[in-house]
Amino acid sequence: MAIWLQSLSWALVYAVGQGMVVYATLWLVLKLLPAVAANVKYHICLVALTILPVWFGITWWQEYHVLQQKWVLLQSQPLVWMTGKGDVLITIMQLVSPWMALCYLAGLLAMLFRFSGGMWQLLSLRKLGVMPADEKVNHLLYV
């Protein structure tokens, strides 16, 4: 299996725990600061959302280099059968990791298409010169 695929799978597994840590920290910060202005809370949440992909990227990078070093080490040594409880987890990860990475990349591609479609619609509306609705129309729609 490709090293980048296996490192992506391990990074996805770690991302679940990382997301829980970020969420718990965000929840605690927002509970400790209930009287803070909404725009400050917005920026705190924006920082939390920025931390998630950055932490994921760093984890993926680290896992890639760790697995690359292990691969070089395994190439230089004779084949030795591993025994122990960790073998089951490694075997399961080897079976599941291509599918995990495939699902992740498919979801990423779907979100990219969705985002691109929204941007295309926005640009076409701007190009056509569509103006916002009148205040009276907005009042009728949202009351």
pLDDT digits (tens, 9 = 90+) for 98-138: 888 888 889 889 998 998 998 888 888 888 877 777 888 87
pLDDT (tens digit per residue) in 32-73:
999 999 999 999 999 999 999 999 999 999 999 988 887 766
Whether this prediction's pTM lies above 0.85 is answered by: no
> Is the distance from CB of 16 to CB of 107 less than 8 angstroms?
no
- pLDDT attached to residue 25: 97
For 69-104, what is each residue's pLDDT tens digit? 877 665 565 544 555 555 676 777 778 888 888 888
* Beta carbons within 8 Å of 97's beta carbon, 6+ residues apart: 1, 5, 6, 8, 9, 10
